[in-house]
Amino acid sequence: MEFARKDFNCILLVNGFMLLCSHVFAESTFSNGRYPDENNRFITTLVEDFGRLCPFTDQCYRTANASTNRTFYWNDIPCCRTCRCEQECGNECCPDYLVSSFSEPELFRMKHDPIECIYPQFRPYTRRSHNYKTPYKMVSHCSMDFINEQETRQKCEKDYHEFNFDDSFAMLMPLTSFQDNTVTFKNMYCAICNYADVSRLLMWRPILNCKRHVDDILESPNDIPGFLTDHPYCNVFFQSTYNTELYPETCEMITNKCNMTGKWRNYDSFTEIACLSYTSLFNDQYKNVHCFMCNGHIESEVKETCKIEIYSPAPPFLPFTVVLDFKRKEGLNTEYIADKSLFDESCGFDAVLDPYTVYIINIYKSLDEKMANLLI
């Protein structure tokens, strides 16, 4: 009887000075290597491609191509991680567990999923930078049928560090609905272009977090980019308020679509569909090896084994933490009451009616009143 599903179980001993790794085998469902939809051309190509690119990782019905006699170093593991073989695993199954190719509508929905995994912080995320303790699932794209007024779609999809603060800082922060179905929006623009009920949204709060004490505290949102440049040991986080029963959903930060880095060299439809179709984490950063290849890499850069990286767990917040309150400061310089012409059917000389601006002003005033009541 053949065996499949080799996983690497590792035990860390004596503060990281010894790492014991062993193979774990489970009996294969089909010892002959046949799989449910082996007559589907796409799935057959995908199964063979995965076996070639990931020679040390088993699928559900097919054992890994590489010899099991290979000796691994103490910190070596397969770059392609174990995939799932359960019913209803959707696009998280192993390649050979797929019972059919995904339809065009299904692929379209996966490609245009408005929800992404985002770190709530001003600095761009890097694996070794000073990051917030966990990323969250956030709606970060507009509804497909939203009419793009005042560059709302572009502002919804911007990263936090890309904002120039022409608008109120309150428009930038994440918001979470306090309803039975908890949804978090990356910023107010994403809430607006997804037709959210803004009266049911609770704004997160900005926090300055540094590795050591700083004497100069941020006075204005406009100071954030320069402040963080001068203080590389600091970051501005956005934190959900904990005096409510809101529990924003956390997630795992991986690249799960093609060209998310904007560096795909040559488009290939098979690679794009393959990236969406199955899950076998590649080097803990990509949904699978095909997602790796369609985000700035080529096949010759695919490695069979990767090194285990051991990090010391960081505390949730570093020693110096300050809750930032820009609203009072902004209120001194920002006119939230619209000009009367905006509310009239006709406008004054050299002016046009802009319902969007009226909408934003009313939203902000509503949020101000609601936040004042909730945070007392």
With respect to residue 110, please indicate whether it lies within any of the assigned structural domains. no
Q: What is the pLDDT of residues 99-142, one digit of tens each?
A: 878 888 888 888 878 889 999 999 988 777 788 888 999 999 99
Report residue 210: phi and psi, to 5°.
-130, 155
Do 247 and 260 lie in a common domain?
no
Q: Which residues contact 219 (CB under 8 A, 6 or more apart)?
A: 329
Do 262 and 240 lie in a common domain?
no
Look at residue 68 in the predicted model and tell me its pLDDT. 53
pTM for the predicted model, two decimal places: 0.67
Q: Round the average pLDDT of the chain to a whole number and report it.
A: 75
Q: What is the pLDDT of residues 334-368, one digit of tens each?
A: 333 333 333 344 444 444 444 334 444 444 445 55
Look at residue 167 in the predicted model and tell me its pLDDT. 76
Q: What is the pLDDT of residues 281-316, one digit of tens each?
A: 999 999 999 999 999 899 999 999 998 876 555 555
Higher per-residue pLDDT: 32 or 41: 41
What does the pLDDT average to over 64-70? Answer: 65
Domain count, the chain: 2
CB contact burial 233-264 (16+ within 10 A = b; e otherwise): ebbbbbbbeeeeebebeeeebbbbbbbbeeeb
Do 240 and 272 lie in a common domain?
no
With respect to residue 147, please indicate whether it lies within any of the assigned structural domains. yes
**359 is in which domain, residue-wise?**
115-251+317-374
CB contact burial 304-325 (16+ within 10 A = b; e otherwise): ebbeeeeeeeeeeeeeeeeebe
Q: What is the pLDDT of residues 49-60, one digit of tens each?
A: 999 999 999 999
With respect to residue 107, please indicate whether it lies within any of the assigned structural domains. no
Task: List the single range of 93-102, 144-153, 274-283, 310-319 with lowest mean pLDDT.
Answer: 310-319
| Pairing of β 234-239 and β 205-210 | antiparallel
Do 261 and 162 lie in a common domain?
no
Q: Which residues contact 40 (CB under 8 A, 6 or more apart)?
A: 100, 101
Give yes or no for a contact between 48 and 38, defined as CB atoms under 8 angstroms apart.
Answer: no
Look at residue 280 in the predicted model and tell me its pLDDT. 95
Q: What is the pLDDT of residues 152-200, one digit of tens each?
A: 998 999 999 988 777 788 889 999 987 767 899 999 999 999 999 888 8
With respect to residue 72, please indicate whether it lies within any of the assigned structural domains. yes
Burial class (CB in 10 A: 0-12, 13-18, 19+), 3: middle
Do 265 and 247 lie in a common domain?
no
With respect to residue 280, please indicate whether it lies within any of the assigned structural domains. yes
Do 235 and 370 lie in a common domain?
yes
Q: Measured between alpha carbons, how far is 260 from 16 in angstroms, rounded to an integer?
A: 34
